Amino acid sequence: MKVESITNSRNAIFYPKAGKISLTINVIHKECHINNHQRVGSKSNAKVGADFENLAKEIIQDKLKIILQKPYPLNIGLTGRKPKQHNFDLGNQSYIVECKSHKWTAGNNIPSAKLTVWNEAMYYFLVAPKSYRKIFFMLKDFSQKRNMTLAEYYLKTYKHLIPIDVEFWEYDEFQEKINILHV
């Protein structure tokens, strides 16, 4: 990828009345690698997420013998407040599902911004009608450094934010199986 690097020249001119500085700029073309946090081997992170939702839909429908809609719009909100529509990744009249295919960072560090998104999903489950069965479907990603999966880390660290009725389904893409984690 071509990236332009801008360097100052010595030809700076100050225009006091206008309060501006005019610079002559030299543009140097360099080849460099930019880390845009793209999943390796994918066209886009959105495509990775959409593919994972489709996989989750197939697996949950097969395991529970149900039909799920993608996306599933549902009015949610706090008691005493006017509800607002939220599109859950998957759902039907009895189930709502949020899907996350997040992984540890490349350096095996905690993906804190991604876990904030998980916290948001927990809030959506909290303010959803109690009559729904709630499934949080995530990709299994193991950290050697921490000796645990990202889901296990989340459950350990954020248990106080997880509604009691949310089920954690961790999908192991290598063994092609589901592990239901207990909160």
* Mean pLDDT, rounded, for 155-167: 97
| pLDDT at residue 46, rounded to an integer | 85
Residue 147 falls inside a structural domain: yes
| pLDDT at residue 103, rounded to an integer | 96
Q: Which of 21-35, 90-104, 114-128 has the lowest mean pLDDT?
A: 21-35
| pLDDT at residue 183, rounded to an integer | 75
Both 70 and 15 in one domain: the answer is no
Residue 37 falls inside a structural domain: no
| pLDDT at residue 37, rounded to an integer | 55
Residue 139 falls inside a structural domain: yes
Residue 36 falls inside a structural domain: no
| pLDDT at residue 123, rounded to an integer | 98
Both 53 and 9 in one domain: the answer is no
Query: How far apart, in whole angstroms, are the C-alpha atoms of residue 144 and residue 147?
Result: 5
| pLDDT at residue 117, rounded to an integer | 97
The amino acid occupying position 61 is Q
Both 12 and 72 in one domain: the answer is no
- Could you report the per-residue pLDDT of 76-96, keeping only the tens digit for each? 999 999 999 999 999 999 999
Q: Which two tokens stand for residue 78?
A: 């706090």
Single pTM value for the model: 0.77
Both 131 and 49 in one domain: the answer is yes
Give the domain range for residue 154: 45-181
Both 110 and 136 in one domain: the answer is yes
Query: How far apart, in whole angstroms, are the C-alpha atoms of residue 84 and residue 70?
Result: 18
- Could you report the per-residue pLDDT of 3-39, keeping only the tens digit for each? 333 333 344 444 445 554 444 434 333 333 334 455 6
Cα dihedral across residues 180, 164, 66, 140: positive or negative: negative
